[in-house]
Amino acid sequence: MDTNSIELEARKDARDVRVTGSDYLRAILKDRVALAASIFLVILVVFTLGAEFFAPHRPMGLNLRDGLLPPFSSGSKGEFYLLGTDELGRDIFSRLIYGARVSVSVGLIGAGLSCLLGVTMGLTAGYRGGLYEDIVMRLVDGMLSLPSLLVALFVLFVLGGGFVNLILVFSVLHWMVFARMARGLALDARTATYVQAAKSLGTTEIRIVFYHILPNVAAPIIVLLTLEIAILILSEASLSFLGFGVQPPDPSWGLMIADGREHIRSAWWLVTFPGLAIFLTALSLNLLANWVRAVTDPVQRWRWITAS
Amino acid sequence: MTKSRTASRSLAGACLCAFGVVFSPLAMAAPEGTLVVAVNQEPQDLAAQGAYKEINATGLRNVMETLIAVDPQTGGLIPVLATAWERVDGNTLRFTIREGVTFHDGTPMTAEAVATSINWVWSPDNAFTIQEYAGPGTISAAALDESTVEVTSDQADPLLEFRMSLGGISSAEQLANSPEKHFDTPVGTGPYRFNEWARGQYWDATYNEDWWGLSAEDAYGTTAPDFAALKFVFRSEDAARAAMVQSGEAQIAMFPSASECERAVDEDGYACVTGPSTTYLYGRLDHSLHADMLLQDPRIREAVFLSLDIDGIAGLYGMASVPQGQLGARGTIGFNENVGPYDYDPERAMELLAEAEADGQDISGLNIEVVGRDTTPRIKPIVEAIGAMLGSVGIGTDIRVQTPQEFNPRVRIAGYANEPGRQMMQVHVKQNPSGDYGLLLLSNYACPNIDDPTGPSRSSVYCDEEFDSSLFEAMASFGDDRDQSMQELVQYVHDRHLIVPLALLDRGYLVEDGIEFVFGTDHRIQAVYVDKVE
Amino acid sequence: MAYLIKRIVNSAIILFLTVSFVFFAGRLIGDPALNMLGPGASDVALENLRRAAGLNDPILIQYFRYVVNLLSGDFGISYRYGFSVLPSERLSEIGQPVIDIVLERLPATFFLAAAAMGFAVPIGVFMGVTAAAYPRSAADRIVTVLSLAGVSIVQFWLGLMLIVFFAVQLGWLPTGGYGEWQHVILPALTLAARPIGRIAQVTRSAVLEELAKPYIMTAHAKGVPVNRVVYLHSLKNAAIPIVTMIGDELSALLTGAILVEKIFAWPGIGLLIIDSLSRSDLPLIQASIVVVAALVVCVNLLVDLAYRLLNPRIRFGKTEA
């Protein structure tokens, strides 16, 4: 057999095989980039949940005598500062860990809420059709064509910044992509045999949408959710940087960059580390989404899950 | 005492330029090149009134001149558009107008034009921001004859000369025929002619070859204009302004941060010069009006003051010195030598709070809102530091940095009168260029009048009839009496823990090598005080 | 044709909703007369202004007037841009129309966006084609990671880092500003990071798709050199999704420019928006948002239409799923 036919065989096999969790585990162990991304995200989540435990210093602890110490230096009382201190003598590393809590929860909750809203709208629109679908989809098209960061900026200017407002604004401005995707998937699913079967058994519409259609369209939505979390973390940083997001003294990565800007020529670590934290988080999420997309795609799946 | 680490070096520099160059109209080279100044904010407008406050309209005095001015070298008053002035009585000054001066639009500067301009700038109806230096009286002007203008305040006013050094004199023709241009196209009499204001970028001006100072014996400045053009570039980032001087994009960068100033020591090609200013940083704690009852307990107020490490805050600001328990600096009329700095004693603060609590005060209800305005340089770390210091003795805080739009109403009587009983510490900077405690006491401690929301004490939170009557008496007095009675008032407010003085600010510039720059405590950037040296 | 009309009507409705939203949200901030004159204003001055600006009329009348004025290009008078206090009875005489201020700033933003695309298109297409030419090679993986890095980076942070490196450490380029060609390089590069990533991704998958088609196989069999196959045939046919992506990114650039302009003191509409927000100049904020939204909606509309024109597989008159 030449390589082409081996490939074809593999493709056919992969399509038929029922994929289990351990297959995914094996697949990710093989992909070093995706593995690194997931390890980073796991560490991030662990740090976020256990910030009190992992942070070596208090994130708000004032220590004016030890301001602007570079990374790997010791303070006046012998304490060790891994990533240096800011101008108030607060430990950058500890603030990064606590800042992760803010940035990650804005991303998770914001994307989660917009996903919930969008998927509900999209699935019901796709399933029910008619005027309702028309209105929802026009709203989706219209809102998608608006500059969302700018609108968010204006709304936060009117309402005032802060954690809760930020999340509300994000949910209202980011549900449309979920809705569009969910509707497309629902349209496909509506004609699928398993739905027809459920219908003939007299299952209610809501049950069909959420118990039969939703689980079968979950994979692409998870990919989209991952990407949206990355986008929201970036947006949070931008809005906080401009002063319309999270308010001090809560540490947020965007705020830390804003604070460090004044010292950018003399204390590079103030701006570099929070920027890197945002970058690595968003990059990991993107890489992971890329990987999930590949392994859950029935056409590409053979590449990852083969009977080797 | 925390002092600027660069101050000694720079003060020496400032003195050198102050006395090193003597102006001589004969030693004049043709002006050439452009003086580029990197400034930290774009002006809101370039109206004549803006000449009073350099920070709001940096460089405007190169275009727009005043009747008289404060000499940056001696601090005394010198003639500019007036050649002489005399006091008629407590309320009145009489100015002799310089002859042969023309505005940049070609119209002659008559006594009539000067009076029109003064009335415009000081009109209570216009309510320009310069009103912060008016009051208690209302100022008006009239031309007596072709070369005399009389300026009157409706109340006895020992500071009238000082006030007349503030407002710019602009073309009366423009005010009459195209008032809309008054705000963005200044027409003055100065050594530079306004050219263009590119919004968001810069404003610039070109050399005025017809300037009266080129031929006048008593022209101000250390030198004739050395530059063919001036350009004021708006750049809010400290690092960006510094980099502009370092790379030669600009000759002067305004108000560098302390870390940039320190850096200049190690770098070639430019230096940092600093000098004292009349700007002070303070924390005003709500008191009589609309304040939560907790803040009227003297023990709680003292505890708040004791918990603040003022040395640390001044150090955080960078180029600043620690105030002596009062808002003014030594040398100001009314400065009280016997008042000492507020102590830093967190333990005592906690004791006082415990005492108050034992007497039934609900200390857990203490939640002080520490608020700064985002246009104040370095406000964020300072507000955060104050919040942390109060927190460390067990006082709850909310810290906020707000835009002027949110902040200003909360500070002024017209706005905060509508707020429920609150616990706010306003952290802010103010200037007192008058060299006298009068305006400072009036604006910070006199009871504000809700019916006069633009009045000079509109941003005070203190109401004390006894204090007010002593103050108004002191403000109308002259000489030693004035000094003595103001000193007593300084002690009086110190003991009541009303406003905590946080820092007396030095301000500095990054200056390219080959340029010498003289400035006074009012920190004006005027090309006739900027010299090219070999 | 029906689709075209439907699409235009839809855009118009969205813009109308935006205008309404901006008007009513603006009123949530508080009394516009007080906003305009500041807290020191006297009651007489406030009343004069309310009368002069019609602020005493019912809110729906004011809203109607606002919309009608917008249609004739009148977005109102800037509160503060140009003067700190204005005698209210001379409002219309002294005030500066906000639309003039906004239009004055647009060219700088267009220039920046064009320059960013000037970097992004060649770099992105080159990266994408390279990755597609050697699928699953090291080069492909590097391009994938780099392109994801482009969309993961915080633009304003990248801008600050570029300033530190190229302007401060090396001194090659100015830290910010406007006017000479040197000024545009760093902000344009900063802004280009994201579209480079997106264009590289799209190019890669579009070219891969083309390469799998029979006509390429045929060309290959006929002995046409691999390079020419890759670069000419497939790229030409992959152009449609790439062009669509470029259009898509162009509208993203307009909002991305807000922060980048702030960092680089680039006097475009982004810097204007930030300034007017910090000055609470409501008419100016409203006008900027409406103008930018209109631009973005128009760009999206054009991209959508271009996509349908270029792509024979999608017929007009039928909305696809």
What pLDDT was estimated at residue A278? 93
Cα dihedral angle (B51, B57, B59, B65), rounded to 10 degrees? -20
Backbone angles phi, psi at B516, to 5 degrees: -120, 140
State what percent of residues in chain C have pLDDT above 90.
14
How much is the mean pLDDT over chain C? 79
Torsion of CA B41, B44, B50, B56, to 10 degrees: -20
pLDDT at A1 over 70: no
Of B175-184, B380-389, C112-121, C241-250, the poorest mean pLDDT is in: C241-250
The confidence score (pLDDT) of residue B65 equals 95
Query: Which pLDDT belongs to residue C39?
Result: 56
* Low-confidence winner among A85-89, B151-155, B190-194 (lowest mean pLDDT): A85-89
Residues of B in contact with C279 (CB under 8 A): 44, 403-405
pLDDT at B304: 94
What residues 52-71 of chain B have any CB closer than 8 A to a CB of chain A? none
Mean pLDDT of B92-99: 94
- Hey, which chains touch A, using 3+ CB pairs under 8 Å? B, C
pLDDT in tens, B406-426: 788 888 887 788 888 889 999
CB C193 within 8 A of CB C240: no
Q: Per the domain annotation, does C143 fall within a domain?
A: yes
* Three-class DSSP category at B274: strand
Residue B469: Cβ within 10 Å count: 10
Q: DSSP 3-state assignment of B195?
A: strand
Query: Cα dihedral angle (C88, C91, C96, C99), rounded to 10 degrees?
Result: 110
* Tokens describing residue B164: 């007349």
Please answer whether residues B367 and B396 qualify as being in contact, where contact means their C-beta atoms are separated by less than 8 angstroms. yes
Interface list for C 38-57 with A (CB within 8 A): none
Residue B254 pLDDT > 90, yes or no?
yes
Establish if C50 belongs to a structural domain.
no
Per-residue pLDDT at C36 exceeds 70: no
Alpha-carbon span C202 to C289, nearest angstrom: 30
* Residue C51 placed within a domain: no
What DSSP state is assigned to residue B111?
Answer: H
Highest mean pLDDT among A239-243, B387-391, C82-86: B387-391
B206 backbone dihedrals φ, ψ, rounded to 5°: -115, 155
d(CA B379, CA B382): 5
Provide the pLDDT for residue B83. Answer: 94
Interval A150-176 mean pLDDT: 89
Residue predicted with more confidence, A185 or A278:
A278
B226 contacts B29 by C-beta, under 8 angstroms: yes
pLDDT digits (tens, 9 = 90+) for A177-223: 899 888 888 787 777 777 777 777 777 767 777 777 777 777 888 88
**Does the CB of C205 have a partner CB in chain B at under 8 Å?**
no
Question: Which comes out higher in pLDDT, residue B318 or C147?
Answer: C147
- CB contacts of A88 in chain B (<8 Å) are 316, 381, 384-385, 388
A74, containing H or E segment: strand A73-74
Q: What is the pLDDT of residue C186?
A: 92
The yes-or-no verdict on residue B496 having pLDDT over 50 is: yes
pLDDT tens digits along C270-282: 999 988 887 777 8
Comparing CB atoms, the residue among A264, A268, A286 nearest residue C148 is A286
The answer, yes or no, to whether ipTM is higher than 0.85 is: no
Residue A91, amino acid: D
What gap in Å lies between CA A111 and CA A167, rounded to an integer?
Answer: 9
Q: What is the mean pLDDT of residues C162-180?
A: 82
Alpha helices (runs of H) in B77-155, residue ranges in sequence order: 111-122
From chain B, the residues in CB contact with A261 under 8 A are 237, 239
Q: How do residues A13-64 score in pLDDT, each as one tens digit?
A: 555 555 566 777 777 777 788 899 999 999 999 998 888 888 788 877 777 7
Q: B114 near B81, Cβ under 8 Å?
A: yes
What distance in Å separates residue A46's CA from the closest CA in chain C?
22
Provide the 3-class DSSP secondary structure of residue A303: helix
Mean pLDDT over the full length of chain B: 86
What integer is the mean pLDDT of C139-157?
Answer: 89
pTM: 0.83
Does residue B315 belong to the interface with chain A, where contact is any CB pair within 8 Å?
yes
CA-to-CA separations, C193 to A248, C235, C249, in angstroms, rounded:
29, 22, 11
Q: Is C280 part of a structural domain of the chain?
A: no
For A250, half-sphere exposure in the C-beta direction (CA atoms, 13 angstrom radius) is 15
The larger pLDDT score, comparing residue A196 to residue B279, is at B279
Distance CA C35, CA C26 (A): 11
In 3D space, the residue among C74, C133, C131 whose CA is nearest the CA of residue C99 turns out to be C74
Amino acid at A44: L
CATH number of A20-303: 1.10.3720.10
Q: What is the CA radius of gyration of chain C?
A: 25
Structural domain includes residue C290: no
Which two tokens mark B385? 């530091």
Residue C17, both tokens: 């909703």
Cβ contact, residue pair A146, C296, below 8 Å:
yes
- Tokens standing for residue A219: 């994979």
Mean pLDDT within C64-73: 86
C42 located within any domain: no
Give the domain range for residue C243. 106-268
Cα distances from B51 to residues A178, B128, B408, B524, in angstroms, run 56, 12, 22, 10
Kindly report which listed range (B212-216, C220-224, C240-244, C293-297) carries the lowest average pLDDT score: C220-224
The more confident residue out of B240 and A37 is A37
As given in the structure block, the two tokens for residue C98 are: 């906000």
Classify the phi-psi angles of B331: left when phi > 0, otherwise alpha if psi is within -120 to 50, otherwise beta. Answer: left
Which of B78-92, B311-325, C45-59 reaches the highest mean pLDDT?
A: B78-92
How far apart are the C-alpha atoms of C34 and C55, rounded to whole Å?
A: 11
Name the pLDDT band for C189 (thresholds 50, 70, 90): very high
The phi, psi pair for B153, rounded to 5°, reads -110, 145
Out of A230-234, B472-476, B520-524, give the one with best mean pLDDT.
A230-234
Task: With cut-offs at 50, 70 and 90, classify the pLDDT of residue B7.
Answer: very low
Count how many Cα atoms sit within 13 Å of the Cα of residue C65 in the half-sphere of its side chain.
11
Residue C45 lies in a domain: no
Count how many domains chain C has: 1
Tell me which chain C residue has its CA closest to the CA of residue A279: C153
Q: CATH number of the domain at C176, please.
A: 1.10.3720.10
CA distance linking residue B405 with residue B411, whole number of Å: 11
Q: So what's the pLDDT on residue A282?
A: 93
Residues A53-63 have pLDDT tens digits of 887 888 777 77
Q: Which of residues 374-433 of B touch C (CB under 8 A)?
A: 374-375, 403-405, 408-409, 412, 414-415
Cβ count within 10 A of residue B286:
25
Residue C84 has pLDDT above 50, yes or no: no
Chain A residues in contact with C168 (beta carbon < 8 A): 264-265
- Give me A95's structure tokens: 């603030």
For residues B323 and B3, the answer to whether their CB atoms sit within 8 Å is: no
- Condensed to tens digits (0 to 9), the pLDDT of residues B305-351 reads 999 999 989 888 888 889 999 999 888 889 999 999 999 999 999 99
B246, pLDDT greater than 60: yes
Q: What local confidence, expressed as pLDDT, does residue B21 receive?
A: 41
